[in-house]
Amino acid sequence: MEKRTDKNSYTIIFAVAMVVVVGSLLAAAASGLKPNIDENKRLEKQQNILYAMGVNENDETSANFVSTDVAPKLFNDYIKKQLVIQNGETIEDTTAYLIDVKKEKTLAKEDGYSRRLPLFVGEKDGKTYYIAPIRGKGLWDAIWAYVAMDENMIVQGAFFDHKAETPGLGANIKQRFFMDDFIGEHLRSEGKFKGITVAKGNADPKNNDKTDNEVDAIAGATITGDGVSAMIKSDLRLYAPYFDKLKTN
Amino acid sequence: MGILSKKDANLILDPLADNNPITIQVLGICSALAITAELEASIVMSISVLFVMGVGNVVISLIRNIIPSKIRIIVQLVVVATLVIIVDLVLKAFAYELSKTLSVFVGLIITNCIIMGRFEAFALGNGVWRSFLDGIGNALGYAAILIIVGFFRELLGSGTLLGIPVLGDPIEKTGLYATGYENNGFMLLSPMALIVVGIIIWVQRSKNKALIED
């Protein structure tokens, strides 16, 4: 005799029941945990921005954020202005840091939409930092960064992160040895925006020359490195007019 | 092993050596290649798989008598995927830092053939307790290989262990590097994981001739 569980009708009922149970379970988990997850992401953005301008708890070799308990307070203390640049116009917006760079990039592909570019102006020890979020593609998935610059577009600090680069290779863009190489590096060359290239076969592996618009690549992470170069070129370039204006004023 | 009978104890111990999921059953090779460039990633992956296999085997064993055999593979896949997604969501909500380290592995865990392999070969035909032990045992066997491979690849490839330099500074030429030693960048690439796994298989089989197939 055929077993009960071999019947077609049983199989179909089981499949339907399974989808309903699993579907509701996942939906409940996702919506129930969403507020916590969103809050974590908001705090992370504040931590990232603060990290780029040098407000962090780095020790000698590893990169450490300020703790999430103090991040909102420090963010209010250090970030003096949050700007949104759109169509060359600059307005202040205290929630600029919540702008989703990914969404803006997608929207910008449509005709007639000009991206809203968030820029954060921070002050530490009498120095002004301009911090821009940028986003691009690595080998497997998205990569992004927060780059802090001075008024001459010289990098003062950078924080890189990624969604799914290879551990030990591309994932190392968030290691100090890579991020710290950007500090002091010029984004302009002879007055014009040039970007910074992650270069293989760099003649300057210790990165003593800060005006060559190059940092040393990570061995085995060529595509991630190219993604970093491309992201800096395409996204930070959009901020160049703002800095040009800053100079003439 | 007072609390476990000898048969039960073997469920845990066998996969660690003579029935290792990677070197003998040749399952889970793909993830063993992908994430062993760093010791830390190997350890994190091992713990994740340990959890998913323990719980997954229990769930499958609990529902083994009501699963329609025609769609059992799909059911197994759904169980793994659900478990992994829930774990990922909970981590994102309550241990955000950890979840970022883990995100790379989520997809890899779902497709890890050790998990499907043990569901199919063991949990579908055995009781809950024994299935749990089998899951833990196989996950530990997997972990052992991952950690050995990760140890050698990070040490020889980057000169570090868990991110801490142990051989000196390759740029300043201190420690071992002062003698002319160089990191072998080749170790960081996936093919070398295969070669390290191959060496482990070789050592294991030359020690225990019974494992050699004709």
Residue-wise pLDDT for A206-233, tens only, equals 777 888 888 988 888 899 999 999 999 9
| A164 Cβ under 8 Å from any chain B Cβ | yes
Residue B20: Cβ-neighbour burial (10 angstroms; 0-12, 13-18, 19+): buried
The conformation of residue A28, written as its DSSP 8-state character, comes to: H
Contact A169 B69 (CB under 8 A): no
Q: How high is the pLDDT of residue A229?
A: 95
How close A242 gets to chain B, by Cα (Å)?
Answer: 33
Q: How high is the pLDDT of residue B2?
A: 56
Q: Which residues of A touch B94 (CB under 8 A)?
A: 36
Residue A6, pLDDT > 90, answer no
Q: Name the amino acid, one letter, at A103.
A: K
Assign B1 a pLDDT band (cuts: 50, 70, 90).
Answer: very low
Cα angle A220, A153, A226; round to 5: 20
- Picking from B60, B65, B70 by the largest number of A CB atoms within 10 A of its own CB, the best residue to mutate is B70
Find where tokens 């960081």 sit: B188
Q: Name the token pair of B97.
A: 């830092």
Lowest mean pLDDT of A5-9, A35-39, B143-147, name the range: A5-9
| B3 Cβ under 8 Å from any chain A Cβ | no
Residue A16: Cβ-neighbour burial (10 angstroms; 0-12, 13-18, 19+): exposed
In a 3-state reduction of DSSP, which class is residue A155? strand
Cα–Cα distance, B153 to B174 (Å, whole number): 21
| A28 Cβ under 8 Å from any chain B Cβ | no
Q: Which residues of A touch B188 (CB under 8 A)?
A: 168-169, 219-220
Most confident segment among A2-11, A40-49, A159-168, B41-50: A40-49
The ipTM value here is 0.71
| A177 Cβ under 8 Å from any chain B Cβ | no
Q: How high is the pLDDT of residue A19?
A: 93
Q: Which candidate from B75, B92, B171 shows the least CB-CB separation from A37?
A: B92
Q: Which residues of A touch B86 (CB under 8 A)?
A: 25-26, 29
Of the candidates A235, A200, A224, the one whose C-alpha atom is nearest the C-alpha of residue A101 is: A235
Residue B43, pLDDT > 50, answer yes
Domain boundaries, chain B: 37-203
| B66 Cβ under 8 Å from any chain A Cβ | yes
b/e per residue A111-135 (b: at least 16 CB within 10 A): eeeebbbbbbbbeeeeeebbbbbbb
A71: Cβ contacts below 8 Å, ≥ 6 apart: A43, A46, A47, A50, A65
Q: Name the token pair of A160.
A: 């890189």
Contact A143, A136 (CB under 8 A): yes
Cα–Cα distance, A125 to A127 (Å, whole number): 5
| B41 Cβ under 8 Å from any chain A Cβ | yes
Q: Which residue has the higher pLDDT, A24 or A201?
A: A24
Q: Which candidate from B66, B85, B90 shows the least CB-CB separation from A26?
A: B85
Contact B185 A18 (CB under 8 A): no
| A62 Cβ under 8 Å from any chain B Cβ | yes
The predicted-structure confidence for A13-35, as pLDDT tens digits, reads as follows 999 999 999 999 999 999 999 99
How distant is the alpha carbon of residue A216 from its chain centre? 20
Backbone angles phi, psi at B170, to 5 degrees: -65, -25
Locate the chain A residue with the closest alpha carbon to B74: A15
pTM of the model: 0.72
A–B: how many Cβ contacts below 8 A? 81
Average pLDDT over residues B198-210: 84
How are the residues of chain B apportioned to helix, strand and coil, as percentages rounded to the nearest 5?
70, 0, 25
Q: Which residue has the higher pLDDT, B94 or A153?
A: A153
Assign B181 a pLDDT band (cuts: 50, 70, 90).
Answer: confident
| B34 Cβ under 8 Å from any chain A Cβ | yes
Contact A6 B171 (CB under 8 A): no
Cα dihedral B190/B195/B201/B207 (nearest 10): -140
Contact B66 A14 (CB under 8 A): yes
CA end-to-end distance (rounded Å), chain B: 35
| B63 Cβ under 8 Å from any chain A Cβ | no
Q: Name the token pair of B202.
A: 């070789």
Bridge partners, residue A148, by sequence: A131, A157
How distant is the alpha carbon of residue B96 from its chain centre? 23
Contact B68 A169 (CB under 8 A): no
